[in-house]
Homo-oligomer: A and B are copies of this chain.
Amino acid sequence: MTPPHAPTTARALATAEVCRRIVAESRRQLAEVGPAALSLRAVSRELGMAPSAIYRHFADRDALLSALIAQTFTDLGEAVEVAVAAAGPARIDTWRAWTRAVREWAVARPFDYALVYGSPVPGYAAPRDTVAPAVRVLQPILDMASGLTPSGSTVDTPPLGDSLDSMADYIDAPAEVAARAIEAWATIMGFLSLYLFGHLVGAVDSSDTLWERVVEQTAADLGLTEPDEPLPGGRS
């Protein structure tokens, strides 16, 4: 009944559990001191283990950091998937749900947000393992953009070269749509970063109403506000 490689023995279960605890405690401490100051010794101390025990589960400090980053992306990815699944079927429903989910997640866990979308940790190179979880976060809006046709542009914009071709292929939409999707994403992430990193402190009393505006404006730039937009699954 169980899959062939699932951990079934007591030892394997215990190992998985300890591994989970290390990651959990590390994420907790990371929120207090930041990724650069994350200490294996402090983590092991808090868990009541010898510092060297960590090395049974992670090759070194960088490996633990990679696991934390992957885990954090996965966490956010699951949050947006739940939110998008609970939203309506129209593209704009997806966009509103996705942006709302990202914001709520980020505001609740500013240090997790900083870990994955803030300054890279110097001297640390993100390995391949973190790419898939990072893309998973974006997948709902990539799916949403699929098949979208550019519309409503009243602006003369410079021509795009072929630099977006691979993304356009991936989402099965014109490069124009890929460009607008990246712009909308950049606006959302930029606003969150400015807010969470303290750059709006003197300028904006409460970011709530402004945030609603940003979401609607980006939706309009994406061409999601036309009433009769066709959906990928038909329903004209």
Question: Within residues 182 to 205 of chain A, which ones have a CB less than 8 A from any CB in chain B?
Answer: 182-183, 185-191, 193-194, 197-200, 202-205
Which residues does chain B contribute within 8 Å of A160, judged by CB atoms?
209-210, 213
Please tell me if A118 contacts chain B, counting CB pairs below 8 Å: yes
Chain B residue with Cβ nearest A200: B182
Please tell me if A4 contacts chain B, counting CB pairs below 8 Å: no
Decide if A155 touches B204 in the complex (CB within 8 Å): no
Number of residues of chain A lying within 8 A (CB) of chain B = 68
Please tell me if A127 contacts chain B, counting CB pairs below 8 Å: no
Which residues does chain B contribute within 8 Å of A207, judged by CB atoms?
163
Which residues does chain B contribute within 8 Å of A118, judged by CB atoms?
118-119, 197
Of A10-18, A30-38, A46-54, A81-89, which binds chain B? A30-38
Chain B residue with Cβ nearest A118: B119
Decide if A157 touches B210 in the complex (CB within 8 Å): no
Task: Give complex CA distance A156, B101 in Å.
Answer: 22
Please tell me if A3 contacts chain B, counting CB pairs below 8 Å: no
Which DSSP category, helix, strand, loop or mixed, fits chain A's interface?
helix
As for how many copies of this chain the complex holds, the number is 2
Please tell me if A123 contacts chain B, counting CB pairs below 8 Å: yes
Decide if B190 touches A210 in the complex (CB within 8 Å): no
Please tell me if A67 contacts chain B, counting CB pairs below 8 Å: no
For the complex formed, measure the closest distance between the CB of A178 and the CB atoms of chain B, giving whole angstroms. Answer: 8
Which among B34, B164, B203, B212 is the interface contact of A36 at CB below 8 angstroms?
B34
Chain B residue with Cβ nearest A161: B209
Instruction: Write the A137-174 contact mask toward B (1 if CB under 8 angstroms, else 0).
Output: 00000000000000010111111111111110000000
For the complex formed, measure the closest distance between the CB of A145 and the CB atoms of chain B, giving whole angstroms. Answer: 12
Decide if A217 touches B34 in the complex (CB within 8 Å): no
Please tell me if A233 contacts chain B, counting CB pairs below 8 Å: no
Which residues does chain B contribute within 8 Å of A134, judged by CB atoms?
199
Question: Can you pick out 9 interface pairs between chain A and chain B where the beta carbons lie within 8 Å of each other?
Answer: A33-B122, A36-B36, A117-B199, A157-B212, A161-B208, A162-B205, A164-B204, A189-B194, A190-B193
Q: Which residues of A contact B (CB under 8 A)?
A: 32-34, 36-37, 111, 114-115, 117-123, 126, 131, 134-135, 152, 154-167, 178-179, 182-183, 185-191, 193-194, 197-200, 202-210, 212-214, 216-217, 220-221, 225
